[in-house]
Structure 1
């Protein structure tokens, strides 16, 4: 008796699994929410006997689900998204792109192709690769922020900031800039000059103070 193929259409928040009958019609289907109990729900619903889980894009959105099924000693195959899309178009249901029909296309593609890749458990090399990717993203984010700081300080300080910029160095460099020193020297002056300095920095009109004469109102015409 051939193994039962269970097609899974994985998504970020939910997964849809279907089983087809002999006429390639959906005999049973289940939609589970992505969470800690997703594997238990799928295994409790899946038919008994020999079975194969055909997961679309098992290296993408379905990677975690595939690894969890492998930890339960299940057989998992990877169905490329291009192959399942072709099966959906040839089946005559290309206009109805729903999760259950996508999972049905995954089953059809897996049943008619015996050269699909068998998914295996990730080893320590794959885990280290994930950690290296995370480190690369953090380094890139830090480098991007440093470049933005260099561009900003180049407009405040002559010749900009030195290399190996940190947050403390950027704070000291900004405090020593002529613009910041001018602001500190004018902060203790009269409110009129202080408001004028604010207007020069922000581009807004200075707020009137008690030392500044208020503009006279125009007389209403009679």
Structure 2
């Protein structure tokens, strides 16, 4: 199964994915965890450009193309070779739909066009952990290790559009499971684990 996790900072994605990997492996299931942008050496270098706070002049179309390039590399190096396992991926193409098509107002047609290759490898299941952006950032700000990246630093109106984008996608995509992000991480983890085990 190819399973993706979407949601803003502070939604607990990273913690939940790590816990799921441990639990599933204890049950004898082969698991690969990865992330976007990034997941492979070249894709991680593109991630540095995308999230660097110095790159304030990065244009919306360039941003979308860089995400697509990172994704293509990630697909070839990580996703496609491991489709016989359970893949837990922190973000995937839905991030481009929400952030670039909705957040940047580039539209779905453009984002789908530049991500044409990725559309051949869609997730079997996508969890969107729904949480208000301000609540999520307040959570992560308590962590000394967290630094706001270029996208975190966007205005609230941008993040509101991103959230609306995710919720619109959830209305039309059967693979979506919307999870209430206001719960504690353990409750979110258990809810997601139960869905995965049922599918497996």
TM-score, scaled relative to structure 2: 0.29
Bigger radius of gyration, 1 or 2? 1
TM-score, scaled relative to structure 1: 0.27
